[in-house]
């Protein structure tokens, strides 16, 4: 597959053969089993080369669908860094641009779940990538590609994909950080970045060549669904008067995991929480600030109490899963004062019942008595 995956010529996206529900394929079961490792508390090693291979088997045998292409995009991102992320975003956007009415799944909520899953894990990969100045030109391209995809999804779904919003914020903050490191940004003469597809109207040639190779080999596979079923500030020396720092902190995750009027985690929220958990760790001099939100229902005082309770619930869950010390956290509730979407619709109210998790620099935070990092 190596010769194919390093080829970056493009073919018209109109030549894509669309497929139906991939979950009827035996190969999809193996893909599902491998990707379940993303949410395993023990964090077992995930074979991204195998994920890519299995995606190609499904695409070759079943045809192209949004869910499998999203898995392929994540595999390319983890194998090839920013170049792979950009390539994956453009592949998905191109499929939606040409084939959106017929590509599986056709339901808006199913599509939203897929793009939320992909965006959440792309954030995790990007945070772990160790990006440097030579990545800046491609990050700028990625920022533009994400803006195009975000605009397209807004038109098609009319549902907010909050993790995609968070991914765009993260890319923007990385770009700003790298630009501040040099007086005048210019692309390096010989950037040491992964190979990157030339822009065009369709999917990369490596995809088509690899699909052909898979078909010739007659690879046997193994079916099922991929994603599965599917107080103010406290415990910290963080100053509540410095709330501007919270809004400027690096966004780790935005989680919509609460039912109306409730601060209890729903049974369906585990997948979302586990995806966010991979990007959360203790670090000296940095607070994990969790902000709770509500929709516009109810009175102001009740919403403030409920939003704080939601932030506390998420903090307690993270502590149970990680053992991170109390003094690494700050929680706050802002009620309905920072709505993400309109409260006039049920979809908007669902999006507003959320928590935001940010990293905020704070001197003396997350330290033990002897000055070491609190775990």
Query: For residue 315, what is the domain's CATH number?
Result: 3.30.1330.60
Token pair 């033990």 in the structure block, residue = 368
Total Cβ atoms within 10 A of residue 240:
12
Last residue of a domain, one of 184, 217, 250: 217
* Position 257 in a domain: yes
> In terms of domains, do 29 and 110 share one?
yes
DSSP 3-state of 321: helix
* Position 374 in a domain: no
Cβ 287 vs Cβ 365: under 8 Å: yes
* Position 36 in a domain: yes
> In terms of domains, do 245 and 204 share one?
no
> In terms of domains, do 40 and 186 share one?
yes
Strand 250-255 to 286-292 pairing: unpaired
> In terms of domains, do 304 and 342 share one?
yes
The sign of the CA dihedral 40, 46, 48, 49 is: negative
pLDDT tens for the 375 residues of the chain, in order:
443 333 332 334 445 789 899 998 989 999 989 998 887 776 678 899 999 999 989 988 899 999 999 999 999 999 889 988 998 999 999 899 989 899 999 998 899 999 999 999 999 899 888 888 888 888 999 999 999 999 999 999 887 788 898 999 999 999 998 888 755 434 444 343 444 444 444 455 556 545 554 454 443 333 334 444 333 333 333 333 344 444 556 777 788 888 899 999 876 677 777 777 767 877 888 888 999 999 998 888 888 999 999 999 999 988 888 888 888 888 888 999 988 888 888 878 888 888 988 888 887 888 765 555 555
DSSP 3-state of 292: strand
* Position 367 in a domain: no
Task: Using only the alpha carbons of the chain, give its radius of gyration.
Answer: 21
* Position 213 in a domain: yes
* Position 207 in a domain: yes
* Position 149 in a domain: yes
Q: Which of 322, 258, 247 is nearest to 291 (CA)?
A: 247
- The total domain count for the chain is 2
> What range defines the domain where residue 52 resides?
2-217
> In terms of domains, do 246 and 174 share one?
no
* Position 223 in a domain: no
Question: pTM to 2 decimals?
Answer: 0.55
């Amino acid at each position: 597959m190596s010769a194919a995956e390093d080829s970056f010529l493009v073919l018209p996206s109109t030549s894509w053969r669309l497929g139906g529900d991939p979950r009827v394929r035996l190969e999809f079961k193996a893909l599902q089993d491998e990707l379940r490792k993303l949410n395993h508390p023990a964090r077992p090693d995930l074979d991204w080369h195998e994920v890519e291979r299995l995606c190609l088997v499904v695409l070759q045998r079943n045809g192209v669908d949004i869910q499998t292409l999203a898995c392929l995009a994540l595999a390319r991102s983890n194998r090839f860094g920013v170049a792979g992320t950009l390539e994956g975003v453009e592949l998905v956007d191109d499929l939606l641009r040409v084939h959106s009415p017929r590509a599986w799944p056709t339901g808006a909520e199913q599509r939203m779940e897929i793009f939320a899953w992909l965006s959440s894990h792309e954030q995790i990969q990007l945070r772990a990538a160790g990006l440097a100045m030579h990545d800046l030109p491609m990050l700028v391209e990625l920022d533009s590609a994400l803006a195009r995809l975000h605009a397209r999804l807004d038109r098609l779904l009319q549902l907010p994909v909050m993790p995609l919003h968070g991914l765009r914020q993260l890319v923007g903050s990385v770009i700003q950080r790298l630009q501040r490191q040099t007086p005048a940004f210019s692309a390096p003469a010989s950037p040491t970045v992964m190979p990157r597809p030339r822009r065009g109207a369709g999917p990369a040639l490596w995809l088509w060549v690899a699909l052909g190779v898979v078909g010739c080999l007659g690879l046997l596979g193994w079916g099922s669904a991929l994603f599965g079923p599917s107080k103010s500030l406290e415990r910290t020396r963080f100053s509540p008067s410095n709330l501007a720092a919270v809004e400027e902190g690096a966004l780790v995750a935005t989680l919509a995991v609460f039912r109306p009027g409730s601060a209890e985690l729903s049974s369906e929220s585990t997948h979302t929480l586990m995806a966010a958990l991979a990007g959360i760790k203790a670090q000296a001099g940095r607070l994990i600030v969790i902000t709770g939100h509500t929709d516009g229902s109810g009175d102001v005082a009740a919403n403030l109490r409920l939003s704080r309770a939601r932030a506390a619930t998420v903090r307690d869950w993270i502590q149970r899963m990680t053992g991170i010390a109390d003094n690494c956290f700050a929680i706050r509730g802002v009620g309905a004062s920072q709505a993400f979407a309109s409260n006039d619709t049920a979809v908007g109210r669902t999006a507003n019942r959320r928590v935001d998790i940010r990293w905020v620099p704070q001197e003396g935070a997350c330290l033990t008595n002897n000055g070491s990092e609190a775990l």
